[in-house]
């Protein structure tokens, strides 16, 4: 069933446009604007260009979803297959199925919302032209990662996002941005070098880099020892990007230093590239190797769940001087632990739960980073002790709509039934209860129990954050002076002519949610509710594709 019948050639063109348009837009952003498009403010003109290009990509992605054959989500659709390097059998092979389509839509949506938010709230830094170009290159690399079906192209797209994210952190970030950017690039590059070796091993041993052919072969052309080495090498590279404990230490620093839109894209999109690689490459291409490492992957995943939650609890306690952005970053370590646990079960239930949790995390954590950025702009700090002591009423009394939305995002993040965060965690735990044949059931049930304990810890730290930030703490010496509430230097002043922007409040009231903020945040909140109340929309896409993937290309 398709909502609108679109021909195969048009679907091909749409997918190619989605991947290539941001790259062309990035080049256009760096060129001098035509006389008629310069406007009175060149900075605002290039920001408007970013909104236009990302908006066009989002519309194309939505049309692609509308034309997608929902009766056959396990079939690759909108495919393009052109020989590129015949000597190595490397092909420009694009296509989408029920696994990649939701991630494609999530990427297009989040990048558009970030471009829209930046139009009104540009972080302080070098030329807006460079900022827009880097965001568009980042979008192109991410969309290509989810659309390509050749291992070498996957690697190139996977690497393409590193440089733009490095510069977004290093040039537009806050305190300690240089150190955080270097840590990010070194960790991910080292992981990628190891991953490339694993990809080359698979390609040379099997004679092809085609991901569809390799998935259909289901590892039959690779010996067990080759699969084990390939999973170890590729898995390490993917685990760094995910990030899996203990390879996660670059993430809190990167999030704390990154500008608001950088944090949103890093959490909402870039982390998904690692988990997508596990599902798209390792599960179908090297199943014996995955079966060998699945218990270890699950063990690291549940340690990450508990570790991330305990780190958040430590940051949330009174007197810890915890940074709210850093706390949300550590929460991502825990949430991505659930995704890895689902993948490690190697069951349709667990993998579907992992894919659902992926999308839910992108929506909810993207919204949380938007909100924390707005709070930091208003108070001039993200320090939890300062935010909690700012006034007895805190956000509920000073900016009630902002406080209510923060509380909503927090309860969605802790997995409240009826919201998107619930289904992914529940399905991954169900998958761990009954893992794939050949995996130790007692071990995975132990992992399930530890993961379930992690959900309690998540609820604890999220409710502490809501109580402290939204309700505040009555302490006689905790009031902020007007100077303390000045806008934070890291995010800089509003660009001239930014509609709807107001200065940070210097009285007991703060600016509540403004029009441009509501436009950027409402879609994420609405989709969080929709996915929570109607999970079949997403599971109906992913389940047939996952079943086929785990069955070795057979529906």
- Does residue 243 have a cis bond before it (omega within 30 degrees)? yes
pLDDT of residue 509: 66
Helices and strands counted in the chain (H then E): 23, 2
pLDDT of residue 4: 74
Output 125 or 458, whichever has higher pLDDT: 458
Closest CA to 395 of 307, 467, 309: 467
Which residues does residue 93 pair with via DSSP β-bridges, in sequence order? Answer: 81
When pLDDT is averaged across residues 440-460 and rounded to a whole number, the result is 92
Give residue 476's region: left, alpha or beta (phi > 0; psi -120 to 50).
alpha
When pLDDT is averaged across residues 408-433 and rounded to a whole number, the result is 91
pLDDT of residue 256: 86
Least confident stretch, 10-24, 218-232, 487-501: 487-501
pLDDT of residue 375: 87
Both tokens of 188, joined, read 């991910």
pLDDT of residue 474: 54
Output 391 or 244, whichever has higher pLDDT: 244
List pLDDT tens digits, range 263-311: 999 988 898 998 999 999 999 998 888 999 999 999 999 999 999 999 9
pLDDT of residue 484: 43
pLDDT of residue 144: 94
pLDDT of residue 360: 93
Closest CA to 390 of 323, 488, 471: 471
Query: Rounded to the nearest 5 degrees, what angle is found at the Cα of 369, between the Cα atoms of 367 and 370?
Result: 65
List pLDDT tens digits, range 223-253: 889 999 999 999 999 998 888 888 888 888 8
DSSP 407-446: HHHHHHHTT-TTSHHHHHHHHHHHHHHS--TTS-HHHHHH
Output 39 or 237, whichever has higher pLDDT: 237
Query: Rounded to the nearest 5 degrees, what angle is found at the Cα of 361, between the Cα atoms of 291 and 395?
Result: 150
392 pLDDT higher than 50: no
Would you say 212 and 95 are in contact if contact means Cβ atoms under 8 Å apart? yes
Model's pTM, two decimal places?
Answer: 0.88
Would you say 53 and 22 are in contact if contact means Cβ atoms under 8 Å apart? yes
Closest CA to 245 of 202, 304, 194, 289: 304
475 pLDDT higher than 80: no
When pLDDT is averaged across residues 339-348 and rounded to a whole number, the result is 93
pLDDT of residue 508: 55
Give residue 258's region: left, alpha or beta (phi > 0; psi -120 to 50).
beta
206 pLDDT higher than 50: yes
Q: How many Cβ atoms from other residues are within 10 Å of residue 482's Cβ?
A: 10
Both tokens of 15, joined, read 């997918």
Output 509 or 16, whichever has higher pLDDT: 16
Q: What percent of the chain has pLDDT over 70?
A: 90
35 pLDDT higher than 60: no
* Share in percent of the chain as helix, strand, coil (round to 5): 70, 5, 25
């Amino acid at each position: 069933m398709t909502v609108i019948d679109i021909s195969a050639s048009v679907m091909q063109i749409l997918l190619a446009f989605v991947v290539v348009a941001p790259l062309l837009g990035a080049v256009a952003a760096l060129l001098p604007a035509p006389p008629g498009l310069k406007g009175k403010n060149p900075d605002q003109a290039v920001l408007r260009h970013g909104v236009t290009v990302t908006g066009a990509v989002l519309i194309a992605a939505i049309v692609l979803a509308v034309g997608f054959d929902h009766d056959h989500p396990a079939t690759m659709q909108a495919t393009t297959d052109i020989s590129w390097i015949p000597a190595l059998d490397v092909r420009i092979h694009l296509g989408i199925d029920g696994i990649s389509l939701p991630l494609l839509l999530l990427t297009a949506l989040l990048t558009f919302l970030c471009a829209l938010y930046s139009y009104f709230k540009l972080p302080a830094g070098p030329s807006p032209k460079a900022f827009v170009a880097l965001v568009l290159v980042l979008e192109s690399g991410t969309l290509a990662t989810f659309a390509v079906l050749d291992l070498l192209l996957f690697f190139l797209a996977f690497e393409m996002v590193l440089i733009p994210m490095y510069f977004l952190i290093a040039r537009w970030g806050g305190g300690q941005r240089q150190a955080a950017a270097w840590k990010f690039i070194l960790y991910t590059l080292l992981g990628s070098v190891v991953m490339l070796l694993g990809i080359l091993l698979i390609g040379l041993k099997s004679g092809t880099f085609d991901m569809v052919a390799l998935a259909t072969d289901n590892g039959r052309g690779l010996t067990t020892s080759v699969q084990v080495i390939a999973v170890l090498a590729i898995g390490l590279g993917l685990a760094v990007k995910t990030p899996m404990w203990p390879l996660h230490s670059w993430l809190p620093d990167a999030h704390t230093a990154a500008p608001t839109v950088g944090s949103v894209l890093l959490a909402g999109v870039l982390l998904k590239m690692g988990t997508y690689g596990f599902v798209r490459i390792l599960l179908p291409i090297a199943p014996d190797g995955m079966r060998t490492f699945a218990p270890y992957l699950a063990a690291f995943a549940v340690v990450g769940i508990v570790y991330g939650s305990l780190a958040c609890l430590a940051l949330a306690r009174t007197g810890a001087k915890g940074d709210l952005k850093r706390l949300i970053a550590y929460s991502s370590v825990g949430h991505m632990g659930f995704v890895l646990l689902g993948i490690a079960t190697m069951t349709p239930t667990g993998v579907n739960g992992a894919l659902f949790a992926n999308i839910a995390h992108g929506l909810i954590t993207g919204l949380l980073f938007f909100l924390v950025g707005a709070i930091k702009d208003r108070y001039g700090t993200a320090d939890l002790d300062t935010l909690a002591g700012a006034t007895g009423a805190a956000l509920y009394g000073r900016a009630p709509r902002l406080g209510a939305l923060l509380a909503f995002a927090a309860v969605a993040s802790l997995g409240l039934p009826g919201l998107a965060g619930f289904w992914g965690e529940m399905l991954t735990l169900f998958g761990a209860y009954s893992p794939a044949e050949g995996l130790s059931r007692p071990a995975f049930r132990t992992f399930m129990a530890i993961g379930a304990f992690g959900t309690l810890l998540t609820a604890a730290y999220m409710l502490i954050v809501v109580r402290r930030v939204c309700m505040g703490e009555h302490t006689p010496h905790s009031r902020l002076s007007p100077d303390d509430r000045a806008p934070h230097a890291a995010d800089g002043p509003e660009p001239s002519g930014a509609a709807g922007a107001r200065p940070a409040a210097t009285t007991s009231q703060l600016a509540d949610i403004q029009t441009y903020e509501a436009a950027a945040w409402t879609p994420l909140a609405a989709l969080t509710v929709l996915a929570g109340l109607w999970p079949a929309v997403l599971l109906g896409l992913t389940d047939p594709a996952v079943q086929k993937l785990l069955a070795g290309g057979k529906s």
